[in-house]
Structure 1
């Protein structure tokens, strides 16, 4: 890649002001998301600014283009950027809810809060799955299927399928067609990123999680709200038992 090409990708306000740290975290795409969210919240990236091309971001972060792609997808699902095919990735007008997420990350970083976050998941996600069974469009159901096919390939290759896990839950939240719910789920899943990764690193867990997802999707496809609700409740409870039950995190006095 020539020098002029690199300069072209970084032209404009966004290219000049991005101060990027090389990635050292094992959860690479999450760290990319964190840095870009920080740039937006601090005003170093503003609404309408264009991010450098994927390949340039990969060079700056010293990561693979696959990691950059996953990060951009996550940022788009959070409503922070818009990916325009053939044009690039642009910062969207940011909501207050999206900007306060870094503060929420700090508030809930303590391990004892994980139990409370799973409690929130148990209350929210089964109801969201039921709404998705009622409201999902054929296109949204097709997208859920595509995500699960990709997750199956990742698992078959010996990986956890964590990015696809997050994408599947985000797709269900979007199919509920309620922006408040979508924001809540994104926030909770973001906060539980590390514990979800630990869960999926348990031998055999990625495939069991994929099978759970299949049951949820089938209920949504059949427009069976009660079955979708129950399948999601079973799935969240299984993950909670693995993460919280293993060491008693987040248990409340009775």
Structure 2
């Protein structure tokens, strides 16, 4: 899990550099060896990050030529204005109804897929992929293409917006036990074909995430205040003035 978090961090850093203009559209990324030195990671880690960037359609790998930054569609640029709170609220409202509808039509094969994602989460194996599969499987179980596409589009925003990626990363890794418990409650409601319980369990899951996001932002704000106060304390401290005169 540590290695996976490492390569996702490289993905986020490269995306940030792309957004910041360090690697403009059409430009070629530095070679794999150079990127490994820049980020102080192994070449396999860089390779995994490039694969993830290619999946997200941020770069194109041209065999024998290199890795090139792709032009970003206007829709993706607009999505960068979204906050993690807006996205999470939208996911809660939409996926709550998705879960309720899925409870009426989910089949045994889909329930087994959900059960397998829970096992993978409990074993700390490819947790992010298991989480994504969990939510997409529920959407598929609605038998409603519009709902499936809605969940897919929301997930794309969750994995393509650098600010949302950073906010989610600050909370998701700290509450894996709670996430597993909440997913199991959603699964139990779906298995019982209880639409109201499925909706409530999904709302509970996202409500906790929203509160965790607020806590994380408050913590960062307090840390920033402490940092600024520390700088001012060093600047205005009389101890420094006294030392200069001794």
Shorter-chain-normalised TM-score: which range?
0.5 to 0.7
In structure 2, relative to structure 1, the CA distance for the partners of 1:231 and 1:25 (3 Å cut) is closer
1:21-59 Cα deviation digits (max 9, x unpaired): xx9752659x99xxxxxxxxxxxxxxxxxxxxxxxxxx9
* 1:232 alignment counterpart: 202
1:133-187 Cα deviation digits (max 9, x unpaired): 11111111111111111111116xxx8x222111211111111111111111111
* 1:152 alignment counterpart: 122
* 1:11 alignment counterpart: none
Kindly state the Cα deviation for residue 216 of structure 1 after the two structures are TM-superposed. 0.1
Kindly state the Cα deviation for residue 207 of structure 1 after the two structures are TM-superposed. 1.2
More helix by share: 2
Task: Give the Cα–Cα distance (whole angstroms) in 2 for the partners of residues 234 and 210 of structure 1.
Answer: 13
* 2:78 alignment counterpart: 107
Kindly state the Cα deviation for residue 109 of structure 1 after the two structures are TM-superposed. 1.6
Kindly state the Cα deviation for residue 231 of structure 1 after the two structures are TM-superposed. 0.4
Task: Give the Cα–Cα distance (whole angstroms) in 1 for the partners of residues 145 and 10 of structure 2.
Answer: 27
* 1:80 alignment counterpart: none
Pair 1:241-2:215 in alignment: no
Task: Give the Cα–Cα distance (whole angstroms) in 2 for the partners of residues 71 and 172 of structure 1.
Answer: 26
Q: Which TM-score applies when normalising by structure 2?
A: 0.57
Task: Give the Cα–Cα distance (whole angstroms) in 1 for the partners of residues 53 and 112 of structure 2.
Answer: 22
Ranges in structure 2 where 5+ consecutive residues have no aligned partner? 1-5, 16-42, 57-71, 160-164, 219-246
Contact 2:186/2:202 (<8 A) preserved: yes
Question: Which 4+ runs in 1 deviate beyond 4 A?
Answer: 59-62
Q: Which TM-score applies when normalising by structure 1?
A: 0.55
Match of 1:187, SS? Answer: helix
199, 222, 230: which is aligned to 2:171?
A: 199
